[in-house]
Amino acid sequence: MKKWFNYIKLFWYFSVNWNPVLAGFILWHEVRGEKKYGIATSKPVELSELTITNGNLSQSSRYEAVNYFILEALLSRLRTIAGETSFTDLGCGKGRAMVVAAHYGFTKISGVDFAKEVCSVAEQHLQQLRVQFPQMEYGLHCQNVLDYDIQPNESVFFLFNPFSDEIISRFLEKVNISTARHPRTIYFLYVSPKHVETFFEFEYEPVYRKRKLKWLDGVILKKEMQHPASAAIL
């Protein structure tokens, strides 16, 4: 009963702020997705209700899970253009994107979020998932995203509009440092891409975009980094 009450509140929220058609579409995918993946991630949470350390709340947004339709569309398309195995969710919340990524074949999954409570929920979801995907390796990092240490094997990053353009820009600078040391192609899956121009400033190229009912929007951005030896040959 409580779950359906949360669904009704979610429908009302999207109806009031956008329109009933969009609200119905989102709700249908919420019910379908939560059942398909066996998780509970629909209920939004305000930042004021969470335990947060070392984070700038004015440059962050409340916990709100990405729509399953857009998430699945981006992951499905990425699978046709890249064979990457890593997936890092920036502002991972309760772990929805990481769980779905595992179902799409990603085996090295990481999540970063500065809110203790949602990280705990994400941990529970990923622990349950290991029974189904024993080969999966995951790591959860409850910290400010700008303090996150990018690993040499990380090549796919996901974000659902969780940060300001300033934070995105500073994180992209960290990615540039990482790729300078360990050249590789980087992909960003960016949903509700409010600050997509920031990626253009860092020379990322949009390779796919999915829109639905005007408000649902997601883009895959790519930046190909050549090894210095290969660049010299060209």
Q: Alpha carbon of 92 to those of 49, 64, 85, 101: distances in Å?
A: 17, 10, 18, 12
| pLDDT tens digits, one per residue of 147-183 | 999 999 999 999 998 889 999 999 999 999 999 999 9
Average pLDDT (30-47) is 91
> What's the confidence (pLDDT) of residue 61?
64
The owner of tokens 């949602």 is 118
**Element containing residue 47 per DSSP (H, E):** none
What pTM does this model have? Answer: 0.90
- Which of 150, 149, 127 is closest to 138 using CA atoms? 127
| pLDDT tens digits, one per residue of 52-83 | 766 665 656 678 899 999 999 999 999 999 99
DSSP E strands, the chain: 86-90, 108-113, 137-142, 156-159, 186-191, 205-212, 216-223
Q: Which two tokens stand for residue 10?
A: 């979610």
Bridge partners of 210, per DSSP, are 218
Task: Report the range of poorest mean pLDDT among 35-39, 112-116, 217-221, 227-231.
Answer: 227-231
Q: CA 200 to CA 202: how far, in whole Å? A: 5
